């Protein structure tokens, strides 16, 4: 068959061919994106209560109460220091002179060393609290590894509960379907009876006419 170059349908065919090629390209791009999609990085047991509790315990930050206490104690100590050493150090003309230097250094040491001790103790208390949280999580993990049967029992119990709920749903659906079938059967019987009565009435009319 010879193609007619003056056929008015040729531009429409070209446009349809371009549309088909564009659709094919989009489908290939969608398939490639689906194929190259990264796997989920969430663990399979993320919904387990024990694992969720341990993860939350690790993510929970220690309390800042030791720092607050250290701040309050520091303010009290600075107030006491000013009350005790202000007359001996601050009221002198030159507290850093050769004669006043020992007394000034003693006063500064009395001010700085307790503050450093208080803040260091607060820091160690906070770190000890964090280490305690980590150690509790490690102990729980070790107990779970020592007694794997408990984990298996919990998993089987959860699976059995899920299966039981699904079976209950299926049984409820079957009962509903049986009930609907009974209702439909009654409706069909009523319709058949009505048809039989109508057929009998029509038959009597025909006999009367004949």
Domain boundary among 102, 117, 145: 145
Residue 207 belongs to some domain of the structure: no
Nearest to 123 by CA among 60, 75, 69: 69
Residue 21 belongs to some domain of the structure: no
Q: Tell me which residue range forms the domain holding 165.
A: 160-199
Least confident of 18-27, 84-93, 137-146, 176-185: 18-27
Q: Which two tokens stand for residue 3?
A: 């193609």
Supply the pLDDT for residue 1.
Answer: 43
Residue 16 belongs to some domain of the structure: no
Describe the crossing of helices 65-85 and 101-146 by its angle, rounded to 10 degrees. Answer: 170
Supply the pLDDT for residue 25.
Answer: 59
23-74, pLDDT tens digit by residue?
655 665 555 554 444 444 444 444 556 666 667 766 777 788 888 999 999 9
Residue 210 belongs to some domain of the structure: no
Q: Are residues 139 and 165 in the same domain?
A: no
pLDDT surpasses 50 at 14: yes
In terms of residues, how long is the chain?
210
pLDDT surpasses 80 at 98: no
State the average pLDDT over residues 105-130. 88
Residue 91 belongs to some domain of the structure: yes
Q: How many domains does the chain have?
A: 2
Q: Are residues 71 and 123 in the same domain?
A: yes
DSSP state for residue 43 in the 8-state scheme: -
Domain boundary among 145, 173, 188: 145
137-161, pLDDT tens digit by residue?
787 777 777 766 666 666 677 787 8
Confidence of residue 5 (pLDDT cuts 50, 70, 90): very low
Q: What is the CA radius of gyration of the chain?
A: 44
Is the pTM higher than 0.85? no
pLDDT surpasses 70 at 127: yes
Supply the pLDDT for residue 162.
Answer: 84
For residue 98, CA distances in Å to 87, 101, 112, 118 come to 18, 5, 21, 31
Q: Are residues 79 and 135 in the same domain?
A: yes
Residue 24 belongs to some domain of the structure: no
Q: What percent of the chain has pLDDT over 90?
A: 10
Higher-pLDDT residue of 16, 200? 200
Q: Are residues 68 and 141 in the same domain?
A: yes
Residue 68 belongs to some domain of the structure: yes
């Amino acid at each position: 068959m010879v193609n007619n170059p003056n056929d008015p349908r040729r531009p429409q065919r070209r446009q349809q061919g371009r549309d088909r090629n564009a659709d094919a390209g989009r489908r290939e791009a969608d398939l490639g994106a689906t194929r190259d999609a990264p796997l989920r990085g969430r663990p399979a047991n993320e919904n387990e209560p024990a694992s969720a509790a341990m993860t939350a315990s690790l993510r929970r930050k220690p309390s800042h109460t030791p720092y607050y206490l250290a701040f309050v104690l520091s303010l009290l100590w600075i107030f006491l220091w000013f009350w005790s050493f202000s007359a001996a150090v601050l009221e002198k003309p030159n507290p850093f002179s050769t004669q006043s230097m020992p007394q000034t250094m003693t006063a500064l040491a009395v001010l700085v060393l307790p503050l450093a001790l208080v803040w260091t103790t607060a820091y160690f208390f906070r770190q000890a609290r964090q280490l305690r949280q980590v150690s509790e999580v490690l102990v729980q993990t070790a107990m779970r590894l020592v007694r794997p049967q408990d984990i298996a029992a919990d998993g089987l119990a959860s699976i059995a509960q899920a299966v039981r709920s699904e079976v209950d749903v299926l049984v409820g659906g079957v009962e509903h379907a049986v009930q609907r079938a009974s209702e439909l059967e009654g409706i069909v019987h009523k319709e058949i009876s009505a048809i039989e009565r109508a057929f009998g009435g029509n038959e009597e009319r025909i006999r009367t006419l004949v």
